[in-house]
Amino acid sequence: MHSSRLCLTVCPRFLMNDDSLPNEPINQDRTFSIGVSDRVKRLPPYLFARLNRVMYEKRRAGDDVIDLGMGNPSDPPEEMVMEKLVEAARDPKNHGYSESLLNLRREVASKYFKQFGVRLDPEHEVLTCLGSKDGFSHMCLALMGPGDTAIIPAPSYPAHLFAVALAAGNQILLDVYDSEELLSNIAYTCQHLYPKPKLLIVNYPHNPSAATVEPEFYVEVVKLAKRYGFMVISDLAYADVAFDGYRTPSFLAAPGAIDVGVEFTTMSKGYNMAGWRVGFCAGNPEMIRALATIKSYYDYGMFRPIQIAAIMALRHTDAAVESQAQIYQRRRDVLCDGLQRLGWPITRPKATMFVWAKIPEPWASQMGSVDFAMKLMEEADVSASPGAGFGPSGEGFLRLALVENEERLRQAVRQIGRCLGGGAGGKY
Ligand SMILES: Cc1ncc(COP(=O)(O)O)c(C=O)c1O
> What confidence tens digit (pLDDT) does each residue in 100-124 have?
999 999 999 999 999 999 999 999 9
Give the distance (Å) from ligand 1 centre to CA of residue 12.
Answer: 40
Within 207-284, residue ranges assigned H as helices are 215-228, 257-260
- 267 touches 276 (CB < 8 A): yes
Euclidean distance between CA atoms 145 and 165, whole angstroms: 10
- 397 touches 358 (CB < 8 A): yes
pLDDT at residue 187 is higher than 50: yes
Of residues 425 and 35, the one with the higher pLDDT is 35
pLDDT at residue 212 is higher than 60: yes
Q: What is the pLDDT of residue 38?
A: 85
Nearest CA to ligand 1 atom 6: 133
pLDDT at residue 417 is higher than 70: yes
- 160 touches 153 (CB < 8 A): yes
Q: If pLDDT is split at 50, 70 and 90, which confidence band does 44 have?
A: confident
Q: Which of 366, 370, 364 is nearest to 399 (CA)?
A: 370
- Helices 79-89 and 304-316 cross at an angle (nearest 10°) of 150
pLDDT at residue 425 is higher than 70: no
Scored b (16 or more CB within 10 A) or e, 4-43 reads eebeebebeeeeeeeeeeeeeeeeeeeeeeeeeeeeeeee
205 lines ligand 1 (CB under 6 A): no
Query: Could you tell me the residue ranges of all domains in the chain?
Result: 2-34, 49-75+320-426, 79-318
Class of domain 49-75+320-426: alpha beta
DSSP 275-292: GG--EEEEE-HHHHHHHH
Half-sphere exposure for 419 (CA within 13 Å, toward CB): 20
Q: What is the pLDDT of residue 1?
A: 37
Q: If pLDDT is split at 50, 70 and 90, which confidence band does 41 have?
A: confident
- The ligand 1 atom nearest the CA atom of 129: 10
Q: Name which of 66-75, 255-264, 333-342, 401-410 the model is least confident about.
A: 66-75
Share of the chain above pLDDT 90, in %: 85
Q: Name which of 2-16, 132-146, 382-396, 404-418 the model is least confident about.
A: 2-16
Count, in order, helices (H) and strands (E) of the chain.
16, 11
Nearest CA to ligand 1 atom 12: 237
- The ligand 1 atom nearest the CA atom of 274: 9
In angstroms, how far is CA 90 from the centroid of its own chain?
Answer: 32
pTM value is: 0.90
Q: If pLDDT is split at 50, 70 and 90, which confidence band does 7 have?
A: very low
Q: What is the pLDDT of residue 5?
A: 38
Q: What is the pLDDT of residue 256?
A: 98
268 lines ligand 1 (CB under 6 A): yes
Scored b (16 or more CB within 10 A) or e, 334-360 reads bbbebbeebbbebeebbbbbbbbbebb
pLDDT at residue 33 is higher than 70: yes
> What confidence tens digit (pLDDT) does each residue in 164-173 have?
999 999 999 9
Share of the chain above pLDDT 70, in %: 91
Of residues 319 and 51, the one with the higher pLDDT is 319
CATH architecture of 79-318: 3-Layer(aba) Sandwich (3.40)
Q: If pLDDT is split at 50, 70 and 90, which confidence band does 427 have?
A: low
Give the distance (Å) from ligand 1 centre to CA of residue 160.
Answer: 10
Q: What is the pLDDT of residue 48?
A: 76
Give the distance (Å) from ligand 1 centre to CA of residue 132.
Answer: 6
Q: Which of 108, 128, 132, 267 to mutate to test the pocket of ligand 1 (most atoms within 8 A of CB)?
A: 132
> What confidence tens digit (pLDDT) does each residue in 215-260 have?
999 999 999 999 999 999 999 999 999 999 999 999 999 999 999 9
Q: Name which of 68-77, 136-145, 227-236, 307-316 the model is least confident about.
A: 68-77
Give the distance (Å) from ligand 1 centre to CA of residue 375.
Answer: 27
109-117 CB contacts, 8 Å cutoff, 24+ apart: 109/282, 110/314, 111/314, 112/250, 112/252, 112/282, 115/239, 115/250, 116/249, 116/250, 116/252, 116/253, 117/253
Which phi and psi angles does 28 have, rounded to 5°? Answer: -85, -35
Euclidean distance between CA atoms 307 and 101, whole angstroms: 7
Give the distance (Å) from ligand 1 centre to CA of residue 246.
Answer: 20
> What confidence tens digit (pLDDT) does each residue in 267-313 have?
999 999 999 999 999 999 999 999 999 999 999 999 999 999 999 99
Q: Name which of 47-51, 63-67, 116-120, 228-232 the model is least confident about.
A: 47-51
pLDDT at residue 422 is higher than 80: no
Within 266-368, residue ranges assigned H as helices are 285-298, 304-316, 318-341, 363-366
Classified as helix, coil or strand, 316 is: helix
Mean pLDDT on 35-39: 89
279 lines ligand 1 (CB under 6 A): yes
Beta-carbon count within 10 A of 313 CB: 26
pLDDT at residue 319 is higher than 70: yes
- The ligand 1 atom nearest the CA atom of 266: 10
- The ligand 1 atom nearest the CA atom of 133: 11
Edge to edge, the sheet with strand 231-235 lists 126-129, 279-283, 261-266, 231-235, 199-202, 149-154, 170-175
Kindly list the distances between the CA atom of residue 311 and the CA atoms of 81, 85, 107, 117, in Å, as whole numbers in the listed order: 9, 10, 7, 20
The per-residue pLDDT of the chain, averaged, comes to 91
Determine the residue type at 157.
Answer: Y
88 lines ligand 1 (CB under 6 A): no
Q: Are strands 382-386 and 397-401 parallel, antiparallel or unpaired?
A: antiparallel
Q: What is the pLDDT of residue 127?
A: 98
Euclidean distance between CA atoms 126 and 102, whole angstroms: 9
Which phi and psi angles does 79 have, rounded to 5°? Answer: -55, -45
Q: If pLDDT is split at 50, 70 and 90, which confidence band does 195 have?
A: confident
In angstroms, how far is CA 204 from the centroid of its own chain?
Answer: 12
Q: What is the pLDDT of residue 323?
A: 96
Q: What is the pLDDT of residue 3?
A: 40
Kindly list the distances between the CA atom of residue 5 and the CA atoms of 10, 37, 374, 394, in Å, as whole numbers in the listed order: 8, 17, 30, 34
Euclidean distance between CA atoms 171 and 44, whole angstroms: 12
pLDDT at residue 12 is higher than 50: no
- The ligand 1 atom nearest the CA atom of 203: 1
Q: What is the pLDDT of residue 11?
A: 31
